[in-house]
Amino acid sequence: MEGVIRCSANYVPLTPISFLERSAIVYRDRASVVYGNLQYTWNQTLQRCKRLASALAHLGISPGDVVAVLAPNIPALYELHFGVPMSGAILCTLNVRHDSAMVSVLLRHSEAKIFFVDHQFLQVAQEAIDILSKEGSKPPLLVFIPECDQPSPYISSISSISSSICTPGNFEYECLISKGNTDFEVRRPKDEWDPISLNYTSGTTSSPKGVIYSHRGAYLNSLAGVLLNEMGSMPVYLWCVPMFHCNGWCLPWAIAAQGGTNVCQRSVTAKGIFDSIAQHKVTHFGGAPTVLNMIINAPVSERRPLPGKVSVMTGAAPPPPQVLYKMEELGFSVTHSYGLTETYGPGTICTWKPEWDSLPREAQAKIKARQGVQHLGIEELDVKDPVTLKSVPADAKTMGEVMFRGNTVMNGYLKNVKATQEAFNGGWFRSGDLGVKHPDGYVELKDRSKDIIISGGENISTIEVESVLFSHPAVLEAAVVARTDDHWGETPCAFVKLKDGCNASAEEIISFCRSRLPRYMAPRTVVFEDLPKTNTGKVQKYVLREKAKSMGSLAKNNISKL
Amino acid sequence: MEGVIRCSANYVPLTPISFLERSAIVYRDRASVVYGNLQYTWNQTLQRCKRLASALAHLGISPGDVVAVLAPNIPALYELHFGVPMSGAILCTLNVRHDSAMVSVLLRHSEAKIFFVDHQFLQVAQEAIDILSKEGSKPPLLVFIPECDQPSPYISSISSISSSICTPGNFEYECLISKGNTDFEVRRPKDEWDPISLNYTSGTTSSPKGVIYSHRGAYLNSLAGVLLNEMGSMPVYLWCVPMFHCNGWCLPWAIAAQGGTNVCQRSVTAKGIFDSIAQHKVTHFGGAPTVLNMIINAPVSERRPLPGKVSVMTGAAPPPPQVLYKMEELGFSVTHSYGLTETYGPGTICTWKPEWDSLPREAQAKIKARQGVQHLGIEELDVKDPVTLKSVPADAKTMGEVMFRGNTVMNGYLKNVKATQEAFNGGWFRSGDLGVKHPDGYVELKDRSKDIIISGGENISTIEVESVLFSHPAVLEAAVVARTDDHWGETPCAFVKLKDGCNASAEEIISFCRSRLPRYMAPRTVVFEDLPKTNTGKVQKYVLREKAKSMGSLAKNNISKL
């Protein structure tokens, strides 16, 4: 079109780096990061991230290199979300629950050049590096992150750094920052499609996949995140969702976009959550249903009144209606979002409609447990026949595979074109989750395709059975998997953890379920024990499936006994 | 990077069309557009816009064609913001204040193929078409938009359309929609950089420039608009800003993104604003300072109590602190934004900081009158020396030209590469506005470069003089321009409109200014009269400059007399 010119005045590749640079102007003196007695402003955070990027460049990091991290939700992990991309590199956050063998696998696969390690996980990291060395692989350079919940001596007086802790080969996080240069010219992506981070999907499979996020997708999912959390400017965000999980649902970048305050914490406890909310006037936090479960079951002595409206985003696993209901009773405003690592974390939002306010609270919780509709970053969400790609009818009954299309779907799996092709087969991202579409267009998950139980030819949604188990007053946690059955093929097997001081027999639990579900859906076996979980709060169903398998088949005589 | 695949699953060109398609699912039964007794839902709006796009395609519109409109803030103009881009065409909204000669110039320059005309402006449009015909240019096809503040007969019963009003060559808006097809395959942009609209800058120059907006820029400025207005989901937006002006600051698209309700009105009056707010529980509206002035000067009989928080975005001209202060007194929450047609409307936001809440209200209004900082869509905002491009010091004193860089800066001026090159010279968009930067990074306008008065070598900001004039209790409106002066070169000449029933002499006004400004800044001439304004509320200073010129030079004896 005549008259059009594309240049630096009107075209800038989208990147979350812009959020930080803007907030360092607009919100320069407002608290960016809080951790114990440590507090930074947005201007300080920009300066620190620039120093970090400069130090990485000085250590030889080039655009496209991978920088790995093993750390909980501490300020350093927040800063790495900007500092690493500002050096042109790709941030690879590792799950702190991994053992050294898994960490070595991921370091090798990602070819990480530098590895930031929080002091708490130093041993695992060292062992992983030893494994790589023994194999003859070149291990990454390790940078040690000491505990730092006090203002660093380097902040007030950079010239006073003892050179002894900055000697070559002995890298320490604050020391690296102190040596960095705030005049560093930030290496912005040449193309917004360039990768910003690498997220290995949590260890539910033996060969983890490295999901690649782009600057464009991260930028757009951050803005979608602001909107789906109904965040105004300057929110106070409490970090319960691990930043190493889907880059904390992209919220490290989103909070920078809005000039908010990041309240960091090393570990997640009910007491810590209530205390932080009261002390910092937290406005928003997020967490898997297990975190909500922790909150509603906190002893009264640990609870504190909420200082104002506290919005909670839950996701990562379908929240049992009972849990949602009890959170609301405590005064929290809970919204439910759903997504996968491949969709940058949240991809849907169960948008709440005012007309639902007048429904009974239990009915409200049931509506809220639905996964909902696509958020603004996702172009299309649908439930489809995985073979024909035909949309299922919006009848709340017909199951299909949940699929996504949009700019906040990953670039692909690192070094695995085949897996990428399979995931995008037909031009849609196939989630592997089974669900239905309600007449109002809202999607509801019924199961992971691999979790579904097929009993006598009938599909049983383990989520539905778990939801009934959660409504039993003595049940703290529950998970249902398939157990082989001579007659039915498979039958539901429930793993249950009871609340402290509560008692219930397997027979009681089973008859409770039978009175609330079609008979074939009720568990035939109940096992009482602690549930194995990933650090992101997901129950490790593959562990439970192995257990159920080791129990052997449920013979006919057992059935008749029950 | 190995493993990456770019396909329809993970890449979609950004376009506001996505907002409407999503809201038709998420907010399907919520009110999208309200006008008199007419009300549509988001699902209906999508269906109507698809029909419109289909009808345009049927009339021969191809991607890249221009479709022009001459209409006030009625539902049809809202629908055209989606329907035209969905046909692949470019929407060109014309200012309803233009005369037929100007309209004919713009139709010829834009080469519009179809021209939608509201009944109120039919005569101007017909005359413009006659001019084109006489010149031998091919005029666009005219589509007549009748008054439609009642549900259309076509909505309930499409089959009952009288064919007589749908005959070829006799096009009527509702008839066109009724003939459209909801199965139409929406023509999305192939490239998000493709143009979505064409906005002629308001008639302050004799040769208007056609500013080209892209789908990408419109998408990003819509999201920035949601955030800078602190809009949650489902806002109720009252249309005072003309949608033909910078596409209503991109808010037609932004309101669709948030599933809000658009309250349309043909004309803007204080009574209409108060009534609509009360009736529809309006949460947000926007308007130039002249609209705010209208509100604060409304007779008590026309005022109605606000039903809740009402956020008002003002812009288009620097708001006098007195006006802001009085709006707040009435209970409105006012935010100030600044931008130009070339920045898709708003480019900055005077972000409010909680620490300012405790300042005296007059001090607050002064802070709020600053243009502020870049919003999320703009990458960089700066005040620079127009020759060296060096940033001015942030001292609140040194003047420079306000410049922008970012994705929400226009693609360029249609058919005017030279003007585009000049505007982007040095890789920044040059606003032509003069301003200073405060130590906190906030920008404040001092004047348009062509409005500044140079008196005895001193720069006089007409905005500062006007701000003092506005604080005079008898002054309703004021504008200051240069008057030639034998001795000083130029001196300030004030045009003032007094409030009804108020009196003040020129001498009183001048001495009021002298007691509040350096002597050289106070007006030497005061003329009492109605101020000529554009429909966007901007005072037409070029008209006043002509008047001041016709008064001749202010001779020395006049000065001494004053």
Residues B221/B250, Cβ–Cβ less than 8 Å: yes
Of residues B9, B421, B424, nearest to A429 (C-beta): B9
Percent over 70 (pLDDT), chain B: 93
SS3 content of chain A, % helix, strand, coil (to 5): 35, 25, 40
Nearest CA-CA distance, residue A479 and chain B, Å? 31
Report whether pLDDT(B457) > 90. Answer: no
pLDDT at B560: 32
pLDDT band per the 50, 70, 90 thresholds, residue A169: low
Tokens 């042109």 appear where?
A88
Tokens 């990454």 appear where?
A140
Q: What is the pLDDT of residues A52-89, one digit of tens each?
A: 999 999 999 999 999 999 999 999 999 999 999 999 99
Nearest CA-CA distance, residue B98 and chain A, Å? 24
Q: What is the pLDDT of residues B38-83, one digit of tens each?
A: 999 999 999 999 999 999 999 999 999 999 999 999 999 999 999 9
- The CA-atom distances, in angstroms, between B288 and each of A484, B205, B339, B366, B463 are 71, 20, 12, 17, 15
Cβ–Cβ contact B300 with A under 8 A = no
pLDDT at B439: 97
Which segments of chain A belong to CATH 3.30.300.30? 453-561
Alpha helices, H only, B11-144: 17-26, 42-58, 75-86, 100-110, 122-135
- CATH code of domain B453-561: 3.30.300.30
3-state DSSP assignment of residue B363: helix
Report whether pLDDT(B102) > 50. Answer: yes
Do the chains contact at B406 and A12, CB–CB below 8 Å? yes
pLDDT at B1: 86
Which segments of chain B belong to CATH 3.40.50.12780? 17-29+37-219, 268-448
Q: What is the mean pLDDT of residues A287-308?
A: 92
Architecture field, domain B268-448: 3-Layer(aba) Sandwich (3.40)
Query: How many CB atoms are located within 10 Å of the residue A448 CB?
Result: 15
List CB contacts (< 8 A) between B30 and chain A: 353
Residues A484/A551, Cβ–Cβ less than 8 Å: no
pLDDT band per the 50, 70, 90 thresholds, residue A490: confident
Do the chains contact at B376 and A257, CB–CB below 8 Å? yes
pLDDT band per the 50, 70, 90 thresholds, residue B162: very low
Report whether pLDDT(A558) > 50. Answer: no
Long-range contacts of B191-196 (CB under 8 A, 24+ apart): B191/B13, B192/B13, B192/B14, B192/B15, B192/B216, B192/B219, B193/A6, B193/A11, B193/B411, B194/B13, B194/B63, B194/B64, B195/A1, B195/A4, B195/B64, B195/B90, B195/B411, B196/B15, B196/B16, B196/B85, B196/B90, B196/B91
Residues B228/A223, Cβ–Cβ less than 8 Å: no
* ipTM (interface predicted TM): 0.88
Report whether pLDDT(B264) > 50. Answer: yes
Q: Given phi > 0 = left and psi -120 to 50 = alpha, else beta, which region is A169?
A: left
* Chain B contacts in chain A segment 325-354 (CB below 8 A): 351, 353-354
Of residues A11, A407, A423, nearest to B11 (C-beta): A407
Report whether pLDDT(B157) > 80. Answer: no
3-state DSSP assignment of residue B515: coil
* Chain A contacts in chain B segment 354-373 (CB below 8 A): 354, 373
Query: How many CB atoms are located within 10 Å of the residue B168 CB?
Result: 5
Report whether pLDDT(B167) > 70. Answer: no
pLDDT band per the 50, 70, 90 thresholds, residue A255: very high
pLDDT at B557: 41
Q: What is the mean pLDDT of residues A492-510?
A: 93
pLDDT band per the 50, 70, 90 thresholds, residue A208: confident
Residue type (1 letter), B146: P
Least confident of A156-170, A258-272, B245-259, B514-528: A156-170
* Chain A contacts in chain B segment 57-96 (CB below 8 A): 64
Q: What is the mean pLDDT of residues B249-253?
A: 98
Of residues A7, A232, A417, nearest to B3 (C-beta): A417
Least confident of A199-208, B67-76, B224-233: A199-208
Dihedral angle computed from the Cα positions of residues A506, A509, A513 and A519, in that order, rounded to the nearest 10 degrees: 20
Of A352, A317, A240, give the one whose Cα is nearest residue A285.
A240
Q: What is the mean pLDDT of residues A245-274?
A: 97
Least confident of A3-12, B344-353, B441-450: B441-450
Report whether pLDDT(A160) > 60. Answer: no
Residue type (1 letter), A89: A
* Residue pairs spanning A and B at CB distance below 8 A: 180
Task: Give the strand pairing for B345-349 and B373-374.
Answer: antiparallel
Residue type (1 letter), B72: P
Least confident of A211-215, B159-163, B257-261: B159-163
Residues A32/A253, Cβ–Cβ less than 8 Å: no
Do the chains contact at A420 and B3, CB–CB below 8 Å? yes
pLDDT band per the 50, 70, 90 thresholds, residue B158: very low
Of B534, B512, B412, give the one whose Cα is nearest residue B99.
B534
Cβ–Cβ contact B190 with A under 8 A = no
pLDDT at A157: 34
Residue type (1 letter), A112: A
Which segments of chain A belong to CATH 3.40.50.12780? 17-214, 268-448
pLDDT band per the 50, 70, 90 thresholds, residue A154: very low
Do the chains contact at A4 and B424, CB–CB below 8 Å? no
Least confident of A307-311, A363-367, B505-509, B558-562: B558-562
Q: Indicate the average pLDDT of chain B.
A: 90
Whole-angstrom Cα distance, residue A405 to residue A431? Answer: 11
Residues B401/B386, Cβ–Cβ less than 8 Å: yes
The domain covering A17-214 belongs, at the CATH homologous superfamily level, to ANL, N-terminal domain (3.40.50.12780)
Q: Indicate the average pLDDT of chain A.
A: 90
Report whether pLDDT(B407) > 90. Answer: yes
Q: What is the mean pLDDT of residues B244-272?
A: 97
3-state DSSP assignment of residue A397: coil
User: Per DSSP, what are the bridge partners of residue B238?
Assistant: B263, B285
Report whether pLDDT(B537) > 60. Answer: yes
Report whether pLDDT(A441) > 60. Answer: yes
pLDDT at A535: 63
The domain covering B17-29+37-219 belongs, at the CATH homologous superfamily level, to ANL, N-terminal domain (3.40.50.12780)
Tokens 């970048």 appear where?
A253
Query: How many CB atoms are located within 10 Å of the residue A2 CB?
Result: 11
Tokens 């009144």 appear where?
A305
**Of A166 and B322, more confident:** B322
| Spatial CB neighbours of B401, under 8 Å, sequence gap ≥ 6 | B383, B384, B385, B386, B430, B431, B432, B433, B434, B435, B449
pLDDT band per the 50, 70, 90 thresholds, residue A112: very high
pLDDT band per the 50, 70, 90 thresholds, residue A17: very high
Do the chains contact at A22 and B210, CB–CB below 8 Å? no
Tokens 């589509």 appear where?
B143
Report whether pLDDT(A557) > 60. Answer: no
Do the chains contact at B4 and A405, CB–CB below 8 Å? no
Residues A125/A95, Cβ–Cβ less than 8 Å: no
Do the chains contact at A1 and B25, CB–CB below 8 Å? no
Question: Which pair of structure tokens corresponds to residue A54?
Answer: 């400069």
Tokens 């949602």 appear where?
A324
Least confident of A159-163, B19-23, B387-391, B522-526: A159-163
Phi and psi at residue A200, in whole multiples of 5°? Answer: -80, 130
> Considering the entire predicted model, what is its pTM?
0.88
E-state strands within B311-442: 311-314, 333-340, 345-349, 373-374, 378-384, 400-406, 412-413, 429-437
Percent over 90 (pLDDT), chain A: 75
Question: Which pair of structure tokens corresponds to residue B163?
Answer: 């064919």
Do the chains contact at B227 and A217, CB–CB below 8 Å? no
A153, containing H or E segment = helix A153-156
pLDDT at B401: 95
Q: What is the mean pLDDT of residues A513-519?
A: 88
A404, containing H or E segment = strand A400-406
pLDDT band per the 50, 70, 90 thresholds, residue A517: confident
Report whether pLDDT(B231) > 80. Answer: yes
pLDDT at B559: 38
Do the chains contact at B5 and A234, CB–CB below 8 Å? no
Q: What is the mean pLDDT of residues A12-23?
A: 98
Question: Which pair of structure tokens corresponds to residue A354?
Answer: 């005012």
Whole-angstrom Cα distance, residue A260 to residue B83? Answer: 38
Report whether pLDDT(A306) > 90. Answer: yes
Residues A411/A381, Cβ–Cβ less than 8 Å: no
Closest-CA residue of chain B to A23: B376
pLDDT at B540: 87
pLDDT at A37: 93
Inter-axis angle of helices B42-58 and B75-86, nearest 10: 60
Q: What is the pLDDT of residues B278-304, one digit of tens each?
A: 999 999 999 988 899 999 999 999 999
